[in-house]
Amino acid sequence: MNEDTVIGFFIFFVIFLFVGGIIALSLFSFGWDTGMMSGKIIGYDSNLFGTKTVFVLEDKTVFNQNKEISQSEIRLCSDFDDTNIHKLIEDNLNKKVKIEYKERRVGFYSWKYCREAPITNISQLTEVQK
């Protein structure tokens, strides 16, 4: 083998490692958050690999000099194969709900799964809770 062939193999190997590292990083998830929130589902978006991004207007009000400022829009996620949650999202659109997201995601997951903690349950708020 001559010197040009060795340099070519080395460059190919470095590029291969670089591309492989980018792919590996895109599959790594670190969704450490878990919890529960209440709010109004204001929309959802179906993503490329079947996950859904859920847009929630959070039920917290900020006051400044006796004036309401605004509520926060939170983005949550549901996995591609969680058809029960997908149906609950569609059924509770524009309704006040309690949303639980309790499964931590740390590790390598395919693109069909949420990068953050996925929604595990959606339930409507009772009149007392509203």
Host domain of residue 56? 30-124
* pLDDT tens-digit map of 4-18: 788 888 888 889 888
Is 71 within a domain?
yes
pTM over 0.75: no
Cα 31-32-38 angle, rounded to 5 deg:
90
What whole-number distance in Å separates Cα of residue 61 and Cα of residue 67? 10
State the burial class of residue 47 (Cβ atoms within 10 Å of its Cβ: 0-12, 13-18, 19+): middle
Phi, psi of 19 (to 5 degrees): -65, -40
Q: What is the pLDDT of residues 30-82, one digit of tens each?
A: 766 777 888 888 888 888 887 888 888 887 655 555 655 556 777 788 888 88
Gap between the Cα atoms of 42 and 57, Å rounded: 7
Q: Per the domain annotation, does 50 fall within a domain?
A: yes
Total structural domains in the chain? 1
What average pLDDT does this structure show over 114-130? 75
